Amino acid sequence: MKEYLKIERDQEWRDQLRKKIKNKERTTQERVSMTSLDPMERIKYQDREVNLGLNMEQAQREASRCMDCVNPTCIEGCPVSINIPKFIKNIERGEVLEAAKTLKETSALPAVCGRVCPQEKQCEAQCFYTLKLKKEPVAIGYLERFAADFEQQSGAVSVPETAPKNQVKVAAIGSGPASLSFAGDMIKLGYDVTVFEALHEVGGVLKYGIPEFRLPNHVVDVELESLAKMGVKFERNFIVGRTASFDDLKAEGYQAFFVASGAGLPRFMNIPGENYNGILSSNEYLTRVNLMNAAKADFDTPVLKGQNVAVIGGGNTAMDSVRTAKRLGAERAMIIYRRSREEMPARVEEVLHAEEEGIEFLNLNNPVEYFSDENGRVSKMRVQRMELGEPDASGRRRPVVVEGSEYDIPVDVVVVAIGVSPNPLVPSELPELKVSRWGTIEVDPETMQSSMPELFAGGDIVRGGATVILAMGDGRKAAAGMHKYLSQKKETAAN
């Protein structure tokens, strides 16, 4: 890997580009900021993307901040190891399509990741600017998005090269980011890949979870088309283990499986009144709006609109839900979070966007009970105030109840976004599969192989609730692990 990076870095064009501008000059430039739609305007639309992207001039200027380090630490911060300096230097010299191609060498969904990765915790956290210069990092995420969007808009979408077909059938279960990343790598290696999806649309959380204002569906669709062009097959409305059993699929020639069925099972708090009408999981709320288009009048699926909407939680799902509520016309859209702003797991940018849109943050508050009107519809919630105590096992300061601090808030819709558990649907069909006490599938962390040799797993079904990019990293590892396993098996059979 290091060797490969060095050879690429030593190419003449990279060398010349480095000489063109002195590093001192590069480091004195300001980080680019991305333009976004006006907050008061954008909350009128469920489906207008907030961030508008960079233009060519902004992108090239930002790309020139990157110093093309000898030891590019940024790559270590990327779970799919994108060759970051190579793609950025291609933008700097104006070869944006080349930059897009570089992204696709290791990432199946660059236009997605450029938008939804928490770069401040990943690549950008490992940028030389952050680590050594104590300055704003190079805007790697913005540039990734720029290159991927540029390619999509150019119409000249490149299809990565694939190895000759080896006629070996493998299945990916679930069609979220982990599976798509796995499928992209396996198809490049020559396998016959089918992705099985339970819902009627492919994409997992990218379609049912993340709203249009953060990740437009057409952006996801282009990436899916590119996988289809490479030969990946998609079977929708198909639950492996139910629609057909694992044994059925083995009989149909599938030699190995990658289970990436996600952590779709929503958690509730189990407090009194939680089953009143108007109280729903963020998964239900977001699925109705994003997958079923419930906000549009000509679609059949309904969604509850509220004047006073409370969203419980502090992660990205909570931010997506509360901003969706605002767009559905809520007068008061509130985040109720039991810790403080600092502990919020949501992306910094999304919290800022939510604030701009007039979302209220009731931090250090926790619901204890719900009350309903005579029709069983939630009418108010009782919360108690919290304060931060000693750090817990996760290193975050533990919230402690302030005794006697309870008060009531009028609400007519409550969205519970306190996390998800692994979906038991697939593991329940495989009694011999080893799962943890939390229901996650146990795997070798290097190869992603489970206790059943032909079965690999990754993403949230292994991690619990995590991020898109970590799921994609797992997909890559599983592809490598499965390729090794199947190659060895073939060799053994030949001897």
Partner 1 sequence: MYQIVQKEQFSENVVKLVVHAPRIARSRKPGHFIILRIDEKGERIPLTIAEANIEAGTITLVVQNVGVSSKRLCAMNVGDQILDLVGPLGKATHISEVGTVLACGGGVGIAPLLPIVEGFKKAGNRVVTVLAARTKELIILEKEIRQWSDEVIIMTDDGSYGIKGLVTQGAEEIIKREKVDECVTIGPAVMMKFVALLTQKYEIPTQASLNAIMVDGTGMCGACRASVGGQTKFTCIDGPEFNAHQIDFDELILRLGGYKAEEKQAWERANS
Applying CB under 8 A, among 177, 203, 211, 278 the residue interacting with partner 1 is 278
Q: What is the DSSP letter of 124?
A: G
The site map against partner 1 for 431-470 (x = CB under 8 A) is: ----------------------------------------
Q: Give the Cβ contact number of residue 332 at 10 Å.
A: 18
Nearer Cβ to partner 1 (95/284)? 284
Question: Which residues from 197-226 bind partner 1, rule CB under 8 A?
Answer: 198-200, 208
Nearest to residue 23, comparing CAs of 122, 119, 138? 138
Single out the segment in contact with partner 1 by CB under 8 A; choices: 13-21, 157-165, 217-225, 268-276: 268-276
Single out the segment in contact with partner 1 by CB under 8 A; choices: 45-53, 97-105, 233-241, 322-330: 233-241
Structure tokens that stand for 227 in this block: 């996988």
Q: How far is the CB of 353 from partner 1 (least distance, A)?
A: 25
Query: 62 with 120: CB under 8 angstroms?
Result: no
Q: What is the DSSP letter of 223?
A: H
Collapsing DSSP to helix, strand or coil, 79 comes out as: coil
The site map against partner 1 for 390-429 (x = CB under 8 A) is: ---------------------------------xxx----
Tokens 């990740």, located at residue:
215
Nearer Cβ to partner 1 (137/204)? 204
Tell whether the torsion through CA atoms of 130, 135, 141 and 144 is positive or negative. Answer: negative
Nearer Cβ to partner 1 (198/435)? 198
Separation between Cα atoms, residue 413 and residue 291, nearest integer Å? 20
> Applying CB under 8 A, does 36 fall inside the site for partner 1?
no
Single out the segment in contact with partner 1 by CB under 8 A; choices: 130-138, 155-163, 287-295, 457-465: 287-295
User: Which residues have C-beta within 8 Å of that of residue 296, sequence separation ≥ 6?
Assistant: none
Applying CB under 8 A, among 216, 266, 329, 419 the residue interacting with partner 1 is 266
Single out the segment in contact with partner 1 by CB under 8 A; choices: 5-13, 288-296, 333-341, 399-407: 288-296
Q: How far is the CB of 374 from partner 1 (least distance, A)?
A: 10
Nearest to residue 82, comparing CAs of 45, 112, 44, 49? 112
Separation between Cα atoms, residue 9 and residue 104, nearest integer Å? 18
Burial label for 417, CB within 10 Å (0-12, 13-18, 19+), is: buried
Separation between Cα atoms, residue 459 and residue 215, nearest integer Å? 20
Burial label for 358, CB within 10 Å (0-12, 13-18, 19+), is: middle
Single out the segment in contact with partner 1 by CB under 8 A; choices: 20-28, 221-229, 236-244, 395-403: 236-244
Nearer Cβ to partner 1 (114/177)? 177
Single out the segment in contact with partner 1 by CB under 8 A; choices: 30-38, 258-266, 432-440, 446-454: 258-266
Q: How far is the CB of 435 from partner 1 (least distance, A)?
A: 15
Applying CB under 8 A, among 60, 73, 166, 277 the residue interacting with partner 1 is 277
Q: What is the DSSP letter of 182?
A: H
Query: 419 with 465: CB under 8 angstroms?
Result: yes
> Applying CB under 8 A, does 293 fall inside the site for partner 1?
yes
Applying CB under 8 A, among 155, 302, 404, 431 the residue interacting with partner 1 is 302
Single out the segment in contact with partner 1 by CB under 8 A; choices: 36-44, 241-249, 358-366, 446-454: 241-249
Which helix (H) or strand (E) segment holds residue 384: the answer is: strand 378-391
Nearer Cβ to partner 1 (43/289)? 289
Nearer Cβ to partner 1 (263/333)? 263
408 residue type, one letter: D
> 468-494 vs 177-188: helix axis angle to the nearest 10?
40
Burial label for 409, CB within 10 Å (0-12, 13-18, 19+), is: middle
Single out the segment in contact with partner 1 by CB under 8 A; choices: 139-147, 156-164, 187-195, 298-306: 298-306
Applying CB under 8 A, among 69, 239, 362, 480 the residue interacting with partner 1 is 239
Nearer Cβ to partner 1 (123/411)? 411
Angle at 76 between CA 395 and CA 71, to 5 degrees: 130
Angle at 108 between CA 184 and CA 447, to 5 degrees: 60
> Applying CB under 8 A, does 288 fall inside the site for partner 1?
yes
Q: What dihedral do alpha carbons 436, 439, 440, 441 form, nearest 10°?
A: 70
Query: 388 with 353: CB under 8 angstroms?
Result: no
The site map against partner 1 for 310-349 (x = CB under 8 A) is: ----------------------------------------
Binding site for partner 1 (CB under 8 A): 198-200, 208, 236-239, 242-245, 264-266, 268, 270, 274-278, 280-281, 283-284, 287-288, 292-293, 297-304, 375-377, 423-425
